[in-house]
Amino acid sequence: MKIAFFDAKPYDMKFFNEVNQSFGYTIKYFEYKLSEETAIMAEGYEVVCAFVNDNLNKEVIDILYDEGIKFIAMRCAGYNNVDFKATYGKIHVVRVPAYSPYAVAEHAFALIMTLNRKIHRAFNRTRDNNFSINTLLGFDLHGKTIGVIGTGKIGQIFINICKGFGMNIIVFDKFPNEKLDVEYTTIETIYKRSDIISLHCPLMKETYHMINKESIDMMKEGVMIINTSRGGLVDTDCLIEGLKTKKVGSAGLDVYEEESEYFFEDFSDEVLDDDVLARILSFTNVIVTAHQAFFTKEALYNIAETTLCNIKEYDENKKVQNEICYNCLNKSNCQRNVTGKCF
């Protein structure tokens, strides 16, 4: 199998080369993202490997299909950048549903700890020989109410961390897990009661901009908002307004709805063209990390291993466990349970 690997970074190549020693596939790494302009580079390959900020719209899918691509291996859990209606019946798509839920959950809580105790500001002060602790006041997490939206694998691990800190935990999920010893409630109750809100849900039509003017208006004064899931969950303009009025006390963002042009790249010598991103970065009570919540050794190894296993299942005509298609998403009749593949 020949694999065209887009948006490749040095750490991707390191871990995929290591894991690929057991598979023996031919991998061509392209540094640029997959787009309408670059999709033609997949000519002569059988598989495309893509990431969260690659563009897999209808135009790109059509180009890949015309070039003979029959299989897209997403090396991530999210798939909101894929036009599944365009792929159905043409190109099989797989993902990595779980690589290290611990990595993302721990990063989310690291953002909470840093924002609360203002570690980022204290670090900058002491580097300048300023040892004043004025304005660095935090609060005890013990006894505070944290609202967790989404109780999948990452959400569950995050909840366990919160339990260790003695926090009051309330959760919302469209599909509650009855095995979890937590208090499920409505989304409105999450907004109204929580001192901290942490998002651990996928980006879908129902969740797009779930953090907006109306939801922020319901929240407690000084609420902390954490997003390590998908940028589109938060209406950034509304978040900025909430920060300006101090309705939102702080925010920790590992994702941003327009991140594809910036995240994973170095723009340190340039001026940001994105006025919204530049504004959000100007707040001292906001921490933005560049989609690095997943970024641990364990996660990168698991991503490479699962991605190549997905490709091997397809190559050997076995049931492709991690395939997802238009019918899957719409709860329609999918053929995977019958034929081993979605179509």
Supply the residues annotated as catalytic. Answer: 230, 259, 291
Closest-CA residue to 4 (of 36, 26, 37, 35): 26
In the Cβ-directed half-sphere of 181, how many Cα atoms lie within 13 Å?
Answer: 3
* Nearest-angstrom CA–CA distance, 15 and 207: 33
Quickly count: other Cβ atoms within 10 Å of residue 312's Cβ. Answer: 15
Buried b / exposed e along 61-87 (16+ C-beta atoms within 10 A): bbbbbebebebbbbbbbbbebbbbebb
Rounded CA-CA distance 172/184 in Å is 6
For 154, what's the count of Cα atoms within 13 Å in the CB-facing half-sphere? 28
CA-CA distance, 302 to 32, in Å (whole number)?
23
Give the integer Cα–Cα distance in Å for 292 and 130: 29
